[in-house]
Structure 1
């Protein structure tokens, strides 16, 4: 792998083009002019670090043709997916997961955390397929596997043994879905016990409805504090937070920041599923990240699902998800758009505890290139990336569109 010299790279809207140096897969200090190196002239195009997908389900993507969508509710999505899952094979999961990974790479994603369902029905079929994808796609994208009990844990005998087997065989994160358990608080407690035993991070689907009653977020905060797991716990969806008055929300935000619980919003899924019982004055139903961020909570925006009853559409574009969140949350200033960009890049890297993320010497050379005037404009214009690199090696290119004007 020969050194790479990247010239005329724009890092923001205000500084002159820069030169970046890559050696052995990392950004380095400028090497000597005599060092043999390839040169990449970006001609003033914008360079950003690779995008980070913090919450996606590769194992149950692209199954809409096997499902029937009527009510469009969370309960129906779970039921329809459960029925489709009965026919999953390792080859099937691999093929559908590869479709999503191909799309994600072309959209500039260089790292992702994928949630994988384990239960006695599916066994380790999905996990084994995702493990193969993890290895086969390492040239372009880092895949972190989070195994979780979608169908319940305490009320579903045999599930815990499967989770433990996966954690001993390559899964690095333990997930949860307390609202699907007969004892939600009991599941939360047991997940923390297992996380402590396996020394792994936690990522929980939590409080996924618009009824402010019955929140379990405080139980997660208490366990995070008691087990000393600050910075290692993420809660996803938490749409109940969108129903709270500002003072109550800010109090929870400060509590989460204090104990180190992180929050992921899944805008496409949450908008599709939430608020269906109301015809007029529909709630947005998205976790209020701007307010949580102002309290010091690490946040991210992510995709969740593509082509299934939880989310029947999507193209794996994190830029599109960030733009959607900005639009729905009415975040339009340059600073706000940059914050939305952070929720699919630098903040997401912090949430996943990824080392060496960025464009400075010592960082892994995972980067993408845009034809956009500024980082904020990438989100505002939903700009597609033109090329991407993983550890300094090219992973994709996308030619610019060309108008064919009549002469």
Structure 2
């Protein structure tokens, strides 16, 4: 690990001319007495922020759009099209597509990522084995946390649970779920909690993914979280049903989720693309309402979910772009609101993933990025791209600012 002295840094609170010290991959208050040499990084007033955190992405099924045929753009079509494409996956195929996304994410400033990996008797361990390789090969630039989940169902798909258990015993650290894919969603949820307790792992569930407020399973998740004492270890993603609730009902549910410790991830690009397909006019936005949930005390995050597949045909792995999209659709514009959007891809995401060494203080891992922006709010408002990034104090990428190449001005007094 490099020994690094950072000078003339501007921090997120607006203050400038800061000096920070990095030794053995971590920020320190000062170099140890035996340190006699270091590199100096002069930021010349540029903005220094901790690395961004992707809390919910699917590397195993990224970049397959050219293998699929979109007609309806619905969730059911996306599941069916991906299931068909998945039949042709090989470990090397998953590895190469996942690497494409990881490299994009790294240069967009992401230093930590939780990726969901599908396990079922059809795909077996192909995706898991590929992502395990990616986890090792890209550790120099990004920390990859693996969440295994039963996209094709759990109770109704014999053999899936054994695969999940195998993965949790061989490198996966988080267990996911898709209750809407089983005939007994509550039984699906209950079984996942039993497995989470057995393996002492966090849970991250795809949940309540439509705009009908009826049939919500979030209450069962909250009940099981409280029953098993799993507060702060349970995340629910999508939950677009929450956007269909009246304010009083939403706020009451938000306070309950905060009390029992259920966290919420919004996935703007996917949720905007897939939901409200049955509406021609007055289409609802349909995103999980993070601002009121945050006001209730719920830990929230924004994330990418999918890139280049039937669930989301778009994406460049920029969390700043996702935060800007959410701010735009949710009509968030004040400095405080935009700064909060940045927190939902950084500090709040770190809290969600229970990262203890995140930040810029002494003792924190030296994962940081640099922007040419005057404030954290401006990063989101202007969709700023990071100029450089560091993992454990080692530089992982550089992105020089664009430069105009103006034509030379020819003086009229110059002889022809």
Contact 1:155 1:181 in 2 (8 A): yes
Map of 2:381 onto structure 1:
380
Q: CA RMSD in A?
A: 0.9
- Distance in 2 separating the partners of 1:367 and 1:219: 38
Compare 372-381 and 8-17 and name the one that shifted more: 8-17
Map of 1:329 onto structure 2:
330
Query: What TM-score do you get using the length of structure 2 for normalisation?
Result: 0.97
Is residue 19 of structure 2 the alignment partner of residue 12 of structure 1? no
- Distance in 2 separating the partners of 1:121 and 1:101: 25
Shift of 1:32: 6.9
1:206-221 matches, cutoff 5 A: 206-221=207-222
Map of 1:57 onto structure 2:
58
Map of 2:3 onto structure 1:
3
- Distance in 1 separating the partners of 2:12 and 2:61: 38
Give the unaligned 5+ runs of structure 2: 410-416
Map of 2:173 onto structure 1:
172
Once the two structures are superposed, residues 201-232 of structure 1 have per-residue CA deviations (whole angstroms, 9 ceiling, x without a partner) of 00000000011100000000000000000000
Once the two structures are superposed, residues 156-207 of structure 1 have per-residue CA deviations (whole angstroms, 9 ceiling, x without a partner) of 0000000000000000000000001111000000000000000000000000
Map of 2:395 onto structure 1:
394
1:119-138 matches, cutoff 5 A: 119-138=120-139
Shift of 1:233: 0.1
Secondary structure class of the residue paired with 1:221: helix
- Distance in 1 separating the partners of 2:51 and 2:13: 18
Once the two structures are superposed, residues 339-369 of structure 1 have per-residue CA deviations (whole angstroms, 9 ceiling, x without a partner) of 0000000000000011110001000000000
Map of 1:320 onto structure 2:
321
- Distance in 2 separating the partners of 1:405 and 1:252: 57
Secondary structure class of the residue paired with 2:189: helix
1:32 to 1:205, Cα distance in 2 relative to 1, 3 A: closer
Which aligned runs of 4 or more in structure 1 are off by greater than 2 angstroms? 30-35
Secondary structure class of the residue paired with 1:382: coil
Is residue 188 of structure 2 the alignment partner of residue 187 of structure 1? yes
Contact 1:2 1:36 in 2 (8 A): no
Map of 2:155 onto structure 1:
154
Compare 175-184 and 33-42 and name the one that shifted more: 33-42
Is residue 100 of structure 2 the alignment partner of residue 99 of structure 1? yes
1:172 to 1:32, Cα distance in 2 relative to 1, 3 A: closer
1:96 to 1:361, Cα distance in 2 relative to 1, 3 A: same
Map of 1:31 onto structure 2:
31
- Distance in 2 separating the partners of 1:405 and 1:389: 32
Contact 2:154 2:160 in 1 (8 A): yes
Map of 1:22 onto structure 2:
22
- Distance in 1 separating the partners of 2:148 and 2:222: 21
Contact 2:212 2:241 in 1 (8 A): yes
- Distance in 2 separating the partners of 1:4 and 1:402: 28
- Distance in 2 separating the partners of 1:173 and 1:14: 36
Is residue 38 of structure 2 the alignment partner of residue 71 of structure 1? no
Shift of 1:13: 5.9
Map of 1:202 onto structure 2:
203
Once the two structures are superposed, residues 138-165 of structure 1 have per-residue CA deviations (whole angstroms, 9 ceiling, x without a partner) of 0000000000000000000000000000
- Distance in 2 separating the partners of 1:221 and 1:12: 34
Contact 2:242 2:250 in 1 (8 A): yes
- Distance in 2 separating the partners of 1:288 and 1:395: 34
Shift of 1:2: 3.9
- Distance in 2 separating the partners of 1:396 and 1:15: 25
Contact 2:2 2:25 in 1 (8 A): no
Larger Rg over CA atoms: 2
Give the unaligned 5+ runs of structure 1: none
Secondary structure class of the residue paired with 1:376: helix
- Distance in 2 separating the partners of 1:26 and 1:87: 43
Contact 1:274 1:285 in 2 (8 A): yes
Map of 1:247 onto structure 2:
248
1:203 to 1:94, Cα distance in 2 relative to 1, 3 A: same
Secondary structure class of the residue paired with 1:226: helix
- Distance in 2 separating the partners of 1:44 and 1:339: 23
Contact 1:13 1:373 in 2 (8 A): no
Query: What TM-score do you get using the length of structure 1 for normalisation?
Result: 0.99
